[in-house]
Amino acid sequence: MAKKQRRRPKKPLKRAAKGSIQKTYLIKALTGLGVLLLLVVIAGVLTHHLISKRYKVLPIIKPRVIRAPRFEIYPKNDIPPHKPIPRTKPGVLTKLPQVAIIIDDIGYDKNIAQKFLDLDAVLTFSILPHSTHDKRIAKIAHSKGFDVMLHLPMEPNEYPIINPGPGVLLTSMSPDQLIDQLNEDLDAVPFVKGVNNHMGSKMTTISPQLYQIFSILKKRNLYFIDSRTTVDTLCGPSAQLLQLPFAQKDVFIDHIPEPDFIREQIHRLIKIAGSHGEAVGIAHPHTETYKILREMLPELKEKTILVRASDIVHIAD
């Protein structure tokens, strides 16, 4: 009998079995990796949830670019009212009349602000809330012994075509909204001793809202100076009723920012001070205003005593 030959497995079958095993291992490895990644994701979600419950996660807010609002809107005729609010005489009699010059609309241009801060004169700086350099300028002015005021944005007749800028008080606000916004504005500028209105030709003619505003100022021991952007203003009687230290603008120095006009307005300020014993002038951070004010400082010091705004406010009888 012929010997039976042993059948050997074909090599291709052996290779197929080996490939199948490798494929199984690969599937298991990928499955394990997927499970691991899933566990990592779940752990991350749980961690974020636990942290956010313990700590308030704030949204990422892009920095807001604030554009400087325009300067005051001026009345057509910058003249004193026919029936001026009665003034009390200064507490300390002096040979020369007192003049307070307020530089309004400060906060967006730190370079021109620094020029006024460096003048050899007693000035008052009224700073717009939420402006680019409000805190820095307020700190420097305070360190030099100057009064810092809040230049409070108030609704003008031209609103919303003309917007006074961030922090504006609107006549459409409820009492709570008005007071909340006012407190926010006051807290935005450090070292504030007083307030004057930025625009406000509409707001300053509405007694109920002025009472709300002045009540907060009185609680904070602040004074108010009326910029008089309208002849219909009721700031004086409202301040008198609440016994709030008060004064009003006598002269806008530079609503026409031309050298000859600014000189004329400063002379007018000196003349009014001589008649009343004191006067308030309001200027703005124009380069021309800085130059003329620096030029006329010797004459101002010769004919008046430059004082802070807080030295010239009074509680009306």
pTM of the model: 0.75
pLDDT tens digits for range 130-184: 999 999 999 999 999 999 999 999 999 999 999 999 999 999 999 999 999 999 9
Backbone angles phi, psi at 55, to 5 degrees: -120, 140
Report in angstroms the alpha-carbon separations of 152 from 11, 63, 213, 272.
94, 23, 11, 26
Mean pLDDT of 91-101: 79
* Residue carrying the six token digits 């300053």: 204
Residues in a beta bridge with 125:
103, 148
What residue ranges do the domains of the chain occupy?
A: 26-56, 98-311
Residue 54 reports pLDDT greater than 90: no
Q: Report the half-sphere exposure of 47 (CA within 13 A, side-chain side).
A: 6
Mean pLDDT of 192-213: 98
pLDDT, position 63: 38
Residue 59 reports pLDDT greater than 50: no
Token output for 103? 């530089």
Q: Is the model more confident about 162 or about 23? A: 162
Q: Report the half-sphere exposure of 107 (CA within 13 A, side-chain side).
A: 29
pLDDT tens digits for range 253-262: 999 999 999 9
Token output for 298? 């010797």
- Domain 98-311 class? alpha beta
Sorting pLDDT into bands at 50, 70 and 90, what band is 13?
A: very low
Round to whole Å and give the CA distance between 124 and 100. Answer: 7
Q: Residue 101: which of 244, 249, 230, 217 has the closest Cα?
A: 249
